[in-house]
Amino acid sequence: MRLLCLLASALLMGAAEPTKPNFVFVLIDDMGWGDFSCFGNQEAKTPNIDRLAAEGLRFTQFYSAAEVCTPSRAALMTGRYPVRSGMAHNQFRVLRAISTGGLPASEVTLAETLKSAGYATGIIGKWHLGVWANNLPQHHPLDHGFDFHFGLMHSNDMNPTPGNPPKANSLVAQDPAWWNAALYRGRELLEPRTDQTQLTKRYAEEAAKFIGANKDKPFFLYLPHTFPHTPLFASERFKGQSPRGIYGDVLAELDWNVGEVLKALKSNGVADNTLVFFTSDNGPWTLMGTETGGSAGLLKDGKGSTWEGGMRVPGIAWWPGKIKPGVTDNVATMLDLYPTVAKLAGAKAPTDRPMDGTDLSALLLEERAVDRGLFCYYRGERLFAARLGDWKIHFITQGSYGDPKAVTHEQPLLFNLARDPAEALEVSAQYPDVVRRLTEAVAEHRQGVVPVRSQLIDVVTK
Ligand code: MG
Protein backbone atom coordinates (compact mmCIF):
# COMPACT_ATOMS: atom_id res chain seq x y z
CA MET A 1 0.00 0.00 0.00
CA ARG A 2 2.78 2.34 1.03
CA LEU A 3 4.58 1.53 -2.24
CA LEU A 4 1.40 2.27 -4.22
CA CYS A 5 1.02 5.62 -2.47
CA LEU A 6 4.63 6.50 -3.26
CA LEU A 7 4.13 5.48 -6.88
CA ALA A 8 0.94 7.52 -7.17
CA SER A 9 2.55 10.63 -5.68
CA ALA A 10 5.57 10.22 -7.98
CA LEU A 11 3.25 10.03 -10.99
CA LEU A 12 1.35 13.11 -9.80
CA MET A 13 4.59 15.01 -9.32
CA GLY A 14 5.72 14.01 -12.79
CA ALA A 15 2.50 15.27 -14.29
CA ALA A 16 2.65 18.62 -12.49
CA GLU A 17 3.30 21.74 -14.54
CA PRO A 18 6.98 22.68 -14.34
CA THR A 19 7.44 25.86 -12.32
CA LYS A 20 7.91 28.83 -14.56
CA PRO A 21 10.97 30.93 -13.71
CA ASN A 22 10.71 34.58 -12.72
CA PHE A 23 12.63 37.25 -14.61
CA VAL A 24 14.16 40.45 -13.28
CA PHE A 25 15.78 42.83 -15.78
CA VAL A 26 17.96 45.51 -14.24
CA LEU A 27 18.64 48.18 -16.87
CA ILE A 28 21.02 50.94 -15.80
CA ASP A 29 20.89 54.21 -17.76
CA ASP A 30 24.12 55.35 -19.44
CA MET A 31 26.45 53.17 -17.41
CA GLY A 32 29.63 52.24 -19.24
CA TRP A 33 31.39 48.97 -19.85
CA GLY A 34 34.21 50.11 -17.56
CA ASP A 35 32.18 51.43 -14.62
CA PHE A 36 32.30 48.44 -12.27
CA SER A 37 34.98 46.95 -10.12
CA CYS A 38 34.26 43.54 -11.71
CA PHE A 39 34.86 45.09 -15.17
CA GLY A 40 38.18 46.58 -14.05
CA ASN A 41 37.37 50.02 -12.66
CA GLN A 42 39.67 50.72 -9.74
CA GLU A 43 37.68 53.57 -8.25
CA ALA A 44 34.17 52.14 -8.42
CA LYS A 45 32.77 50.26 -5.44
CA THR A 46 30.09 47.90 -6.65
CA PRO A 47 30.16 44.90 -4.28
CA ASN A 48 26.61 43.73 -4.99
CA ILE A 49 26.99 43.91 -8.77
CA ASP A 50 30.37 42.19 -8.40
CA ARG A 51 28.69 39.43 -6.39
CA LEU A 52 26.02 39.09 -9.07
CA ALA A 53 28.86 38.67 -11.59
CA ALA A 54 30.79 36.23 -9.37
CA GLU A 55 27.72 34.05 -8.82
CA GLY A 56 26.45 34.42 -12.38
CA LEU A 57 27.66 34.51 -15.96
CA ARG A 58 29.50 37.70 -16.93
CA PHE A 59 29.45 38.64 -20.61
CA THR A 60 32.49 40.45 -21.94
CA GLN A 61 30.83 41.04 -25.33
CA PHE A 62 27.24 42.02 -24.65
CA TYR A 63 25.61 44.71 -26.78
CA SER A 64 22.77 47.13 -26.48
CA ALA A 65 20.84 47.40 -29.74
CA ALA A 66 21.13 51.20 -29.88
CA GLU A 67 23.42 53.95 -28.70
CA VAL A 68 20.80 56.06 -26.89
CA CYS A 69 17.86 55.53 -24.53
CA THR A 70 14.60 55.27 -26.49
CA PRO A 71 15.63 52.93 -29.33
CA SER A 72 17.58 50.78 -26.88
CA ARG A 73 14.53 50.26 -24.67
CA ALA A 74 12.36 49.62 -27.74
CA ALA A 75 14.79 46.87 -28.80
CA LEU A 76 14.72 45.29 -25.35
CA MET A 77 10.93 45.31 -25.19
CA THR A 78 10.29 44.13 -28.76
CA GLY A 79 13.30 41.94 -29.63
CA ARG A 80 13.55 43.92 -32.89
CA TYR A 81 15.87 46.54 -34.30
CA PRO A 82 14.19 49.87 -33.41
CA VAL A 83 14.13 50.90 -37.07
CA ARG A 84 11.39 48.28 -37.54
CA SER A 85 9.11 49.80 -34.90
CA GLY A 86 9.52 53.50 -35.71
CA MET A 87 11.46 54.05 -32.49
CA ALA A 88 14.56 55.52 -34.09
CA HIS A 89 15.27 58.84 -35.78
CA ASN A 90 18.47 60.27 -37.21
CA GLN A 91 18.02 63.75 -35.78
CA PHE A 92 15.77 63.50 -32.71
CA ARG A 93 17.30 60.28 -31.41
CA VAL A 94 14.93 59.85 -28.41
CA LEU A 95 11.39 60.70 -27.32
CA ARG A 96 11.25 64.08 -25.61
CA ALA A 97 8.88 65.60 -23.04
CA ILE A 98 6.99 67.26 -25.92
CA SER A 99 6.69 64.03 -27.93
CA THR A 100 3.30 62.62 -28.72
CA GLY A 101 4.63 59.49 -30.42
CA GLY A 102 5.52 56.28 -28.70
CA LEU A 103 5.84 52.54 -29.03
CA PRO A 104 3.13 51.53 -31.52
CA ALA A 105 0.30 49.35 -30.19
CA SER A 106 1.06 46.89 -33.00
CA GLU A 107 4.37 45.95 -31.34
CA VAL A 108 4.20 42.90 -29.07
CA THR A 109 6.29 43.62 -26.00
CA LEU A 110 8.05 41.02 -23.92
CA ALA A 111 5.68 42.00 -21.09
CA GLU A 112 2.69 41.14 -23.29
CA THR A 113 4.22 37.83 -24.32
CA LEU A 114 4.91 36.88 -20.68
CA LYS A 115 1.54 38.12 -19.50
CA SER A 116 -0.16 35.80 -22.00
CA ALA A 117 1.87 32.97 -20.42
CA GLY A 118 0.45 33.76 -16.96
CA TYR A 119 3.08 36.17 -15.66
CA ALA A 120 2.56 39.14 -13.35
CA THR A 121 4.39 42.05 -14.99
CA GLY A 122 5.82 45.18 -13.40
CA ILE A 123 7.99 48.10 -14.47
CA ILE A 124 9.72 50.25 -11.86
CA GLY A 125 11.77 53.13 -13.26
CA LYS A 126 12.12 55.03 -16.52
CA TRP A 127 9.88 53.94 -19.43
CA HIS A 128 10.90 56.31 -22.26
CA LEU A 129 8.78 54.60 -24.90
CA GLY A 130 5.93 57.11 -24.76
CA VAL A 131 5.38 60.22 -22.74
CA TRP A 132 2.35 60.12 -20.53
CA ALA A 133 2.51 63.85 -19.76
CA ASN A 134 0.69 64.40 -23.03
CA ASN A 135 -2.10 62.04 -21.97
CA LEU A 136 -1.69 59.50 -24.69
CA PRO A 137 -2.77 56.28 -23.07
CA GLN A 138 -1.73 54.08 -25.99
CA HIS A 139 1.92 54.70 -25.15
CA HIS A 140 1.72 53.99 -21.44
CA PRO A 141 3.44 50.87 -20.02
CA LEU A 142 0.04 49.71 -18.73
CA ASP A 143 -1.05 49.57 -22.39
CA HIS A 144 2.01 47.54 -23.33
CA GLY A 145 1.59 44.50 -21.13
CA PHE A 146 2.57 45.77 -17.69
CA ASP A 147 0.16 45.32 -14.75
CA PHE A 148 2.15 47.61 -12.49
CA HIS A 149 4.14 50.79 -13.04
CA PHE A 150 6.02 53.18 -10.77
CA GLY A 151 8.50 55.71 -12.10
CA LEU A 152 9.32 58.40 -14.63
CA MET A 153 8.00 58.50 -18.19
CA HIS A 154 11.19 59.91 -19.70
CA SER A 155 14.72 61.02 -18.77
CA ASN A 156 15.26 63.05 -15.62
CA ASP A 157 16.66 66.06 -17.53
CA MET A 158 13.90 66.48 -20.11
CA ASN A 159 11.55 68.97 -18.48
CA PRO A 160 13.82 71.58 -16.92
CA THR A 161 12.69 74.98 -15.71
CA PRO A 162 13.08 77.36 -18.69
CA GLY A 163 16.35 79.28 -18.74
CA ASN A 164 20.00 78.54 -19.23
CA PRO A 165 20.95 74.96 -18.48
CA PRO A 166 23.01 74.86 -15.29
CA LYS A 167 26.56 73.56 -15.20
CA ALA A 168 26.53 69.96 -14.07
CA ASN A 169 28.05 70.67 -10.67
CA SER A 170 26.31 73.97 -9.95
CA LEU A 171 23.86 74.49 -7.09
CA VAL A 172 20.99 74.81 -9.57
CA ALA A 173 21.85 71.43 -11.04
CA GLN A 174 21.77 69.98 -7.55
CA ASP A 175 18.25 71.25 -6.87
CA PRO A 176 15.97 68.34 -7.81
CA ALA A 177 12.96 70.67 -8.14
CA TRP A 178 14.61 72.55 -11.01
CA TRP A 179 14.29 69.51 -13.27
CA ASN A 180 10.51 68.98 -12.90
CA ALA A 181 10.81 65.22 -13.18
CA ALA A 182 7.28 63.85 -12.76
CA LEU A 183 6.78 60.63 -10.82
CA TYR A 184 3.83 58.37 -11.65
CA ARG A 185 2.21 55.33 -10.15
CA GLY A 186 0.39 53.80 -13.08
CA ARG A 187 -1.58 56.62 -14.68
CA GLU A 188 -1.67 58.66 -11.49
CA LEU A 189 0.68 61.63 -11.20
CA LEU A 190 2.19 61.32 -7.71
CA GLU A 191 4.66 64.23 -7.76
CA PRO A 192 5.19 66.74 -10.59
CA ARG A 193 8.63 67.63 -9.20
CA THR A 194 9.85 64.52 -7.50
CA ASP A 195 12.86 64.62 -5.19
CA GLN A 196 15.35 62.74 -7.33
CA THR A 197 17.65 62.08 -4.36
CA GLN A 198 15.05 59.54 -3.19
CA LEU A 199 14.38 57.75 -6.48
CA THR A 200 16.88 54.88 -6.29
CA LYS A 201 15.79 54.15 -2.71
CA ARG A 202 12.11 54.25 -3.63
CA TYR A 203 12.67 51.98 -6.62
CA ALA A 204 14.24 49.42 -4.25
CA GLU A 205 11.26 49.62 -1.89
CA GLU A 206 8.76 49.24 -4.73
CA ALA A 207 10.74 46.34 -6.21
CA ALA A 208 10.77 44.51 -2.86
CA LYS A 209 7.01 45.06 -2.53
CA PHE A 210 6.36 43.80 -6.06
CA ILE A 211 8.45 40.67 -5.47
CA GLY A 212 6.71 39.99 -2.14
CA ALA A 213 3.24 40.48 -3.63
CA ASN A 214 3.94 38.15 -6.56
CA LYS A 215 6.11 35.46 -5.00
CA ASP A 216 3.46 32.77 -5.48
CA LYS A 217 3.11 33.24 -9.25
CA PRO A 218 5.60 33.72 -12.04
CA PHE A 219 6.60 37.35 -12.46
CA PHE A 220 8.56 39.63 -14.76
CA LEU A 221 10.03 42.69 -13.08
CA TYR A 222 11.64 45.28 -15.34
CA LEU A 223 13.82 47.78 -13.43
CA PRO A 224 15.01 50.51 -15.79
CA HIS A 225 16.87 52.92 -13.51
CA THR A 226 16.83 56.70 -13.79
CA PHE A 227 20.57 57.03 -13.09
CA PRO A 228 23.45 57.55 -13.78
CA HIS A 229 21.82 59.55 -16.58
CA THR A 230 22.48 63.14 -15.56
CA PRO A 231 21.53 65.16 -13.53
CA LEU A 232 22.90 62.95 -10.78
CA PHE A 233 21.33 62.63 -7.35
CA ALA A 234 22.06 60.32 -4.44
CA SER A 235 20.36 60.09 -1.05
CA GLU A 236 22.02 61.41 2.12
CA ARG A 237 23.40 57.98 3.00
CA PHE A 238 25.47 57.81 -0.20
CA LYS A 239 26.15 61.49 -0.99
CA GLY A 240 29.79 62.54 -0.60
CA GLN A 241 31.00 59.00 0.07
CA SER A 242 32.86 58.10 -3.12
CA PRO A 243 36.30 59.30 -4.18
CA ARG A 244 34.83 59.47 -7.67
CA GLY A 245 32.44 62.24 -6.63
CA ILE A 246 28.70 62.29 -7.30
CA TYR A 247 28.98 59.73 -10.13
CA GLY A 248 30.56 57.29 -7.66
CA ASP A 249 27.91 58.07 -5.04
CA VAL A 250 25.13 57.36 -7.55
CA LEU A 251 26.87 54.18 -8.63
CA ALA A 252 27.15 53.03 -5.01
CA GLU A 253 23.44 53.62 -4.44
CA LEU A 254 22.52 51.75 -7.62
CA ASP A 255 24.72 48.92 -6.40
CA TRP A 256 22.91 49.00 -3.05
CA ASN A 257 19.61 48.84 -4.95
CA VAL A 258 20.77 45.67 -6.72
CA GLY A 259 21.65 44.21 -3.30
CA GLU A 260 18.16 45.03 -2.00
CA VAL A 261 16.53 43.31 -4.99
CA LEU A 262 18.63 40.17 -4.40
CA LYS A 263 17.73 40.32 -0.70
CA ALA A 264 14.03 40.50 -1.56
CA LEU A 265 14.33 37.52 -3.91
CA LYS A 266 16.04 35.51 -1.16
CA SER A 267 13.77 36.52 1.71
CA ASN A 268 10.71 35.64 -0.38
CA GLY A 269 12.18 32.24 -1.23
CA VAL A 270 12.25 32.79 -5.00
CA ALA A 271 15.94 33.43 -5.69
CA ASP A 272 16.56 29.89 -6.98
CA ASN A 273 13.74 30.29 -9.45
CA THR A 274 14.64 33.73 -10.77
CA LEU A 275 16.83 34.76 -13.67
CA VAL A 276 18.26 38.23 -13.09
CA PHE A 277 19.76 39.94 -16.11
CA PHE A 278 21.79 43.08 -15.48
CA THR A 279 22.81 45.49 -18.24
CA SER A 280 22.88 49.12 -19.41
CA ASP A 281 20.84 50.82 -22.14
CA ASN A 282 23.88 52.35 -23.85
CA GLY A 283 27.44 53.44 -23.20
CA PRO A 284 28.55 56.23 -20.88
CA TRP A 285 27.73 59.87 -21.50
CA THR A 286 31.30 60.94 -22.13
CA LEU A 287 30.17 64.51 -22.91
CA MET A 288 29.67 64.88 -19.15
CA GLY A 289 33.37 64.37 -18.44
CA THR A 290 34.86 62.20 -15.75
CA GLU A 291 32.98 63.99 -12.93
CA THR A 292 29.42 63.21 -13.99
CA GLY A 293 29.88 60.81 -16.91
CA GLY A 294 30.82 57.14 -16.88
CA SER A 295 33.66 55.14 -18.37
CA ALA A 296 33.71 52.74 -21.30
CA GLY A 297 37.01 51.31 -20.05
CA LEU A 298 39.31 50.48 -22.94
CA LEU A 299 36.52 50.82 -25.50
CA LYS A 300 36.33 53.74 -27.90
CA ASP A 301 33.81 56.58 -27.34
CA GLY A 302 30.49 56.28 -25.56
CA LYS A 303 26.76 57.10 -25.67
CA GLY A 304 25.63 58.21 -29.10
CA SER A 305 28.39 56.42 -30.99
CA THR A 306 28.53 53.10 -32.80
CA TRP A 307 32.16 52.63 -31.80
CA GLU A 308 32.31 49.87 -29.18
CA GLY A 309 32.06 52.22 -26.19
CA GLY A 310 28.61 53.39 -27.29
CA MET A 311 27.00 49.98 -27.55
CA ARG A 312 29.06 47.30 -25.81
CA VAL A 313 27.65 47.30 -22.30
CA PRO A 314 27.99 45.22 -19.14
CA GLY A 315 25.96 42.03 -19.15
CA ILE A 316 25.42 39.62 -16.26
CA ALA A 317 23.04 36.66 -16.11
CA TRP A 318 22.37 35.30 -12.59
CA TRP A 319 20.26 32.29 -11.70
CA PRO A 320 21.59 30.29 -8.73
CA GLY A 321 21.78 26.57 -9.39
CA LYS A 322 20.84 26.97 -13.07
CA ILE A 323 23.43 29.27 -14.61
CA LYS A 324 26.96 28.15 -13.84
CA PRO A 325 29.15 31.00 -12.55
CA GLY A 326 31.79 32.12 -15.02
CA VAL A 327 32.80 34.52 -17.75
CA THR A 328 31.84 34.21 -21.40
CA ASP A 329 33.13 35.94 -24.50
CA ASN A 330 30.18 34.65 -26.53
CA VAL A 331 28.75 37.64 -28.41
CA ALA A 332 25.21 38.36 -27.25
CA THR A 333 22.83 41.30 -27.48
CA MET A 334 19.82 42.88 -25.91
CA LEU A 335 17.76 41.62 -28.87
CA ASP A 336 18.47 38.06 -27.71
CA LEU A 337 16.81 38.43 -24.31
CA TYR A 338 13.27 38.34 -25.77
CA PRO A 339 13.51 34.89 -27.43
CA THR A 340 15.58 33.53 -24.53
CA VAL A 341 13.08 34.56 -21.89
CA ALA A 342 10.09 33.49 -24.01
CA LYS A 343 11.65 30.03 -24.39
CA LEU A 344 12.39 29.67 -20.66
CA ALA A 345 8.88 30.83 -19.79
CA GLY A 346 7.21 28.47 -22.24
CA ALA A 347 5.72 31.55 -23.92
CA LYS A 348 5.25 32.19 -27.63
CA ALA A 349 7.26 34.97 -29.22
CA PRO A 350 5.55 36.59 -32.23
CA THR A 351 5.97 34.67 -35.49
CA ASP A 352 4.17 37.10 -37.80
CA ARG A 353 7.04 39.60 -38.09
CA PRO A 354 10.81 39.65 -38.33
CA MET A 355 12.44 39.18 -34.91
CA ASP A 356 16.13 39.98 -34.57
CA GLY A 357 17.20 38.01 -31.50
CA THR A 358 18.72 34.57 -30.98
CA ASP A 359 17.75 32.23 -28.15
CA LEU A 360 20.64 32.12 -25.66
CA SER A 361 19.21 29.43 -23.38
CA ALA A 362 21.78 26.79 -24.50
CA LEU A 363 24.58 29.20 -23.57
CA LEU A 364 23.01 30.06 -20.21
CA LEU A 365 21.95 26.60 -19.08
CA GLU A 366 24.24 24.17 -20.94
CA GLU A 367 27.35 26.30 -21.55
CA ARG A 368 27.03 25.66 -25.27
CA ALA A 369 28.27 28.40 -27.62
CA VAL A 370 25.50 30.23 -29.46
CA ASP A 371 26.34 31.91 -32.75
CA ARG A 372 23.94 34.82 -33.05
CA GLY A 373 25.16 35.71 -36.56
CA LEU A 374 25.30 39.24 -37.90
CA PHE A 375 24.79 42.12 -35.46
CA CYS A 376 24.09 45.57 -36.87
CA TYR A 377 24.96 48.83 -35.15
CA TYR A 378 22.32 51.42 -36.02
CA ARG A 379 22.56 55.08 -35.15
CA GLY A 380 19.03 56.43 -35.56
CA GLU A 381 17.61 54.94 -38.74
CA ARG A 382 20.97 54.48 -40.44
CA LEU A 383 23.12 51.37 -40.27
CA PHE A 384 26.60 52.56 -39.34
CA ALA A 385 28.45 49.31 -38.63
CA ALA A 386 28.09 45.53 -38.32
CA ARG A 387 29.77 42.66 -36.51
CA LEU A 388 30.13 39.09 -37.72
CA GLY A 389 32.27 36.75 -35.63
CA ASP A 390 35.39 38.60 -34.56
CA TRP A 391 35.11 41.19 -37.33
CA LYS A 392 33.50 44.61 -37.27
CA ILE A 393 32.96 46.78 -40.32
CA HIS A 394 32.18 50.52 -40.18
CA PHE A 395 30.42 52.17 -43.14
CA ILE A 396 29.79 55.43 -41.26
CA THR A 397 31.41 56.63 -38.04
CA GLN A 398 30.58 59.38 -35.58
CA GLY A 399 31.89 60.08 -32.10
CA SER A 400 29.97 60.19 -28.84
CA TYR A 401 26.87 62.28 -28.20
CA GLY A 402 27.72 65.86 -29.10
CA ASP A 403 29.92 65.07 -32.11
CA PRO A 404 28.00 66.79 -34.94
CA LYS A 405 29.74 65.14 -37.87
CA ALA A 406 29.16 61.71 -39.33
CA VAL A 407 31.86 60.48 -41.68
CA THR A 408 30.94 58.11 -44.50
CA HIS A 409 33.71 55.75 -45.52
CA GLU A 410 33.83 54.92 -49.20
CA GLN A 411 36.26 52.18 -48.27
CA PRO A 412 34.69 50.70 -45.11
CA LEU A 413 36.86 50.40 -41.98
CA LEU A 414 37.58 46.93 -40.64
CA PHE A 415 38.66 45.86 -37.15
CA ASN A 416 39.26 42.49 -35.53
CA LEU A 417 37.56 42.88 -32.15
CA ALA A 418 39.05 39.69 -30.71
CA ARG A 419 42.56 41.10 -31.16
CA ASP A 420 41.75 44.77 -31.00
CA PRO A 421 38.67 45.59 -28.89
CA ALA A 422 39.77 49.24 -28.70
CA GLU A 423 39.33 49.57 -32.50
CA ALA A 424 42.78 51.10 -32.87
CA LEU A 425 44.17 49.06 -35.79
CA GLU A 426 42.28 49.42 -39.07
CA VAL A 427 42.93 46.40 -41.29
CA SER A 428 40.59 46.57 -44.31
CA ALA A 429 43.51 46.61 -46.78
CA GLN A 430 44.86 43.31 -45.40
CA TYR A 431 41.51 41.49 -45.44
CA PRO A 432 39.54 42.42 -48.58
CA ASP A 433 37.70 39.08 -48.48
CA VAL A 434 36.42 39.79 -44.99
CA VAL A 435 35.25 43.26 -46.07
CA ARG A 436 33.40 41.67 -48.99
CA ARG A 437 31.81 38.98 -46.79
CA LEU A 438 30.56 41.48 -44.21
CA THR A 439 29.34 43.91 -46.89
CA GLU A 440 27.33 41.10 -48.49
CA ALA A 441 25.86 40.02 -45.14
CA VAL A 442 24.80 43.60 -44.42
CA ALA A 443 23.25 43.95 -47.91
CA GLU A 444 21.20 40.84 -47.21
CA HIS A 445 20.11 42.22 -43.82
CA ARG A 446 19.05 45.51 -45.43
CA GLN A 447 16.78 43.69 -47.85
CA GLY A 448 14.78 42.36 -44.91
CA VAL A 449 14.28 45.71 -43.19
CA VAL A 450 11.33 47.86 -44.15
CA PRO A 451 11.67 51.15 -42.27
CA VAL A 452 8.45 52.60 -40.89
CA ARG A 453 7.57 56.21 -40.09
CA SER A 454 9.47 57.34 -37.01
CA GLN A 455 7.41 57.96 -33.89
CA LEU A 456 10.09 60.32 -32.64
CA ILE A 457 9.09 63.14 -35.01
CA ASP A 458 5.65 63.58 -33.42
CA VAL A 459 5.76 66.52 -31.03
CA VAL A 460 3.33 68.93 -29.43
CA THR A 461 3.33 72.15 -31.47
CA LYS A 462 2.06 75.28 -29.80
MG1 MG B 1 20.57 55.96 -21.74
Say if CB 161 and CB 178 are below 8 A apart. Answer: yes
- Cα R_g (the chain), whole angstroms: 22
- Cα(313) to centroid(ligand 1), Å: 11
* C-beta of residue 225 within 8 angstroms of C-beta of residue 29: yes
Residue 230 pLDDT exceeds 50: yes
What pLDDT shows up at residue 172? 62
More confident residue, 203 or 101: 203
Q: Between 293 and 277, where is the model more confident?
A: 277
Could you tell me whether strands 375-379 and 382-388 are parallel, antiparallel, or unpaired per DSSP bridges? antiparallel
Q: Give the span between the Cα atoms of 64 and 29, in whole angstroms.
A: 11
CA dist 53 and 47 (Å) reads 10
Cβ neighbours for 33, distance < 8 A, ≥ 6 positions apart:
39, 283, 295, 296, 297, 299, 308, 309, 312, 313, 314
Q: Give pLDDT, residue 7.
A: 52
Residue 368 CA, ligand 1 centroid: distance in Å: 31
* Centroid of ligand 1 to alpha carbon of 66 (angstroms): 9
Rounded mean pLDDT, 414-430 = 98
14-18, 35-39, 138-142, 319-323 — which is least confidently predicted?
14-18
Q: Measured between alpha carbons, how far is 394 from 20 in angstroms, rounded to an integer? A: 41
Residues 6+ apart with CB under 8 A from 14: none
Instruction: Answer for the pair 222, 123: CB distance below 8 angstroms, yes or no.
Output: yes
- The region of weakest confidence among 327-331, 365-369, 447-451 is 447-451
Q: What is the pLDDT of residue 37?
A: 83
- Is 5 catalytic? The answer is no
Least confident of 65-69, 131-135, 216-220, 437-441: 131-135
Q: With bands split at pLDDT 50, 70 and 90, how would you rate the model's confidence at 137?
A: confident
What pLDDT, on the 0 to 100 scale, is given for residue 14?
A: 47
Phi-psi map region of 155: left, alpha, beta (phi>0 left; psi -120 to 50 alpha): beta
Q: How many Å lie between the centroid of ligand 1 and the Cα of residue 281? A: 5
Question: What local confidence, expressed as pLDDT, does residue 133 receive?
Answer: 62
pLDDT tens profile 278-302: 999 999 999 888 888 899 999 999 9
Mean pLDDT of the chain: 92
pTM over 0.85: yes
- Give pLDDT, residue 253: 97
pLDDT in tens, 244-274: 899 999 999 999 999 999 999 999 999 999 9
Which member of 69, 140, 225, 394 is catalytic? 69
Cα of 86 vs centre of ligand 1, distance in Å, is: 18
Residue 111 pLDDT grade (very low, low, confident, very high; cuts 50, 70, 90): very high
Q: Alpha helices of 346-416 — where are they, by DSSP H?
A: 361-366
Q: How far apart are CA 139 and CA 44, in angstroms?
A: 36
Please tell me the distance between residue 454's alpha carbon and the centre of ligand 1 in angstroms.
19
CA pair distance 76, 27, nearest whole angstrom: 10
Give the whole-angstrom CA distance, residue 204 versus residue 38. Answer: 22
The catalytic position among 128, 139, 149, 229 is: 128
The strand pairing partners of 328, in sequence order, are 59
Let me know if 376 is a catalytic residue. no
282 Cα–ligand 1 center, Å: 5
What's the CA gap between 90 and 73, in Å, rounded? 17
Which SS3 state, helix, strand or coil, does residue 384 take? strand
Beta-sheet strand order (sheet of 391-397): 375-379, 382-388, 391-397, 407-416
Question: Rounded mean pLDDT of 3-29?
Answer: 71
